[in-house]
């Protein structure tokens, strides 16, 4: 996406969602957003790209965290990621960016590595949402910090949007993630719809595209839609052009959910995509907000 919103662990550079200093972003905020993005992109590449072992990926993420803590404490990082931390340190000083959200991102990347290595799956939606809390919500909170939006209501709405976007990312990428050993369908929800999973590596790859899977996909997309709608009022709290970008984010996410719902159980084998013909509908929905 040309105006992505969040980088989600396990996504490719082409599929990521993260605010990359788009034309709707005020020029003064483009450097800190770009610095945050570069940090997250580096961590995502460590966790997901190349042929490193899981142990090496986790060690590299730990080294990245050590450099983050050094920079946050006013100390020099190692030379390994000098361009990344040079830019990030400058923007942390200029905008008083907190380190905790960045640290939480790293914990999510490390969890993804560990889960993929172990062939693990999430026990239930509560556990999956805890992952979203660290993999997506920190980015929204950093952006609100940059825009000077600090109310508890705004933070809660941002968390809802970010978690919804992360879940949408999961449900649109089932056909990509499952073959790669990334299992985000929560086990309790699968079992409730007659799809008990005891061996994720074998059973997720063989999920049938039947009424049980249809009901599971319907429940998961409905939950993501409710989360997105709960956060939707934030677009009226964020000032100026950023509010319009947020409208685009919300409506883009909701439109992807439309596509997933239309596919139903076929979403297990096919990735839904937005098309140019979706643009007028998205613009109209943005204006109605």
Give pLDDT tens digits for 103-121.
999 999 999 999 988 889 9
Whole-angstrom distance, CA of residue 11 vs CA of residue 271: 13
Query: Is the confidence at residue 273, as pLDDT, over 90?
Result: no
Query: Is the confidence at residue 13, as pLDDT, over 80?
Result: no
Evaluate whether residue 16 is within a structural domain: no
Q: Tens digit of pLDDT for each residue in 170-199?
A: 999 999 999 999 999 999 999 999 999 999
Please report the pLDDT score of residue 10 as a whole number.
Answer: 43
Evaluate whether residue 237 is within a structural domain: yes
Q: Are 123 and 196 in contact (CB under 8 A)?
A: no
* Mean of the per-residue pLDDT values of the chain: 89
Query: Is the confidence at residue 238, as pLDDT, over 70?
Result: yes
DSSP state of 198: S
Q: How many CA atoms lie less than 13 Å away from 100 in the CB half-sphere? A: 4
Query: Is the confidence at residue 19, as pLDDT, over 60?
Result: no
Please report the pLDDT score of residue 276 as a whole number.
Answer: 81
Please report the pLDDT score of residue 284 as a whole number.
Answer: 80
Q: Are 172 and 272 in contact (CB under 8 A)?
A: yes
Of the two residues 152 and 246, the one the predictor is more confident about is 152
Q: Note the helical H segments in the chain.
A: 30-48, 54-72, 82-95, 100-118, 125-135, 137-147, 152-172, 174-177, 187-192, 200-203, 211-231, 240-263, 279-288
Whole-angstrom distance, CA of residue 268 vs CA of residue 273: 14
Q: Are 26 and 242 in contact (CB under 8 A)?
A: yes
- Average pLDDT (235-259) is 86
Please report the pLDDT score of residue 277 as a whole number.
Answer: 82
Give the number of other Cβ atoms within 10 Å of residue 115's Cβ. Answer: 20
Q: Tens digit of pLDDT for each residue in 123-151?
A: 999 999 999 999 999 999 999 999 999 99
Evaluate whether residue 118 is within a structural domain: yes
Whole-angstrom distance, CA of residue 62 vs CA of residue 107: 9
Evaluate whether residue 8 is within a structural domain: no
Evaluate whether residue 17 is within a structural domain: no
What's the domain range around 215? 27-288
Q: Are 83 and 77 in contact (CB under 8 A)?
A: no
| Percentage of the chain modeled with pLDDT above 70 | 92
Query: Is the confidence at residue 4, as pLDDT, over 60?
Result: no
For 61, 115, 142, the CA distances from 102, given in Å and listed in that order, are 12, 20, 9
User: What phi and psi, each to the nearest 5 degrees, are found at residue 51?
Assistant: -110, 20
Q: What does the block give as tokens for 171?
A: 């449900």
What is the DSSP code string of 220-264?
Answer: HHHHHHHHHHHHGGGGGTS-HHHHHHHHHHHHHHHHHHHHHHHHG
> What pLDDT band is residue 280 in, cutting at 50, 70 and 90?
confident
User: What phi and psi, each to the nearest 5 degrees, are found at residue 279?
Assistant: -60, -50
> What pLDDT band is residue 24 in, cutting at 50, 70 and 90?
low
* Number of domains comprising the chain: 1
Whole-angstrom distance, CA of residue 274 vs CA of residue 276: 7
- Average pLDDT (53-57) is 95
Q: Are 3 and 245 in contact (CB under 8 A)?
A: yes
Give the angle 107-141-32 at the CA atoms, nearest 5°: 90
**CATH number of the domain residue 196 falls in:** 1.10.600.10
Evaluate whether residue 21 is within a structural domain: no
Evaluate whether residue 207 is within a structural domain: yes
Q: What does the block give as tokens for 264?
A: 């139903």
């Amino acid at each position: 996406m040309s105006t992505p919103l969040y980088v989600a662990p396990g996504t490719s550079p082409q599929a990521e969602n993260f605010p990359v200093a788009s034309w709707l972003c005020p020029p003064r905020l483009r450097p800190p957003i770009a610095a945050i993005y570069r940090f997250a992109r580096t961590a995502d590449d460590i966790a997901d790209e190349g042929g490193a072992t899981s142990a090496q990926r986790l060690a590299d993420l730990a080294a990245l965290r050590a450099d983050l803590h050094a920079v946050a404490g006013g100390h020099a990082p190692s030379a390994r990621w000098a361009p990344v931390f040079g830019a990030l340190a400058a923007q942390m000083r200029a905008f008083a960016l907190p380190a905790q959200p960045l640290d939480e991102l790293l914990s999510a990347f490390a969890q993804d590595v560990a889960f993929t290595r172990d062939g693990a799956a999430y026990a239930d939606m509560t556990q999956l949402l805890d992952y979203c809390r660290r993999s997506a919500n920190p980015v929204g909170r950093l952006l609100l910090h940059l825009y000077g939006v600090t109310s508890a209501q705004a933070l809660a709405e941002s968390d809802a949007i970010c978690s919804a976007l992360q879940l949408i990312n999961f449900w649109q990428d089932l056909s990509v993630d499952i073959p790669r050993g990334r299992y985000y369908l929560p086990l309790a929800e699968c079992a409730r719809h007659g799809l008990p999973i005891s061996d994720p590596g074998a059973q997720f790859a063989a999920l049938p595209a039947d009424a049980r899977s249809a009901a599971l996909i319907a429940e998961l997309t409905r939950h993501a839609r409710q989360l997105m709608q709960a956060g939707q009022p934030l677009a009226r709290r964020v000032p100026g052009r950023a509010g319009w970008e947020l409208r685009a984010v919300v409506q883009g996410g909701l439109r992807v959910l439309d596509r997933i719902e239309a596919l139903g159980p076929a979403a297990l084998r096919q990735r839904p995509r937005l098309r140019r013909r979706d643009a007028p509908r998205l613009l109209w929905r943005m204006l109605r907000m």
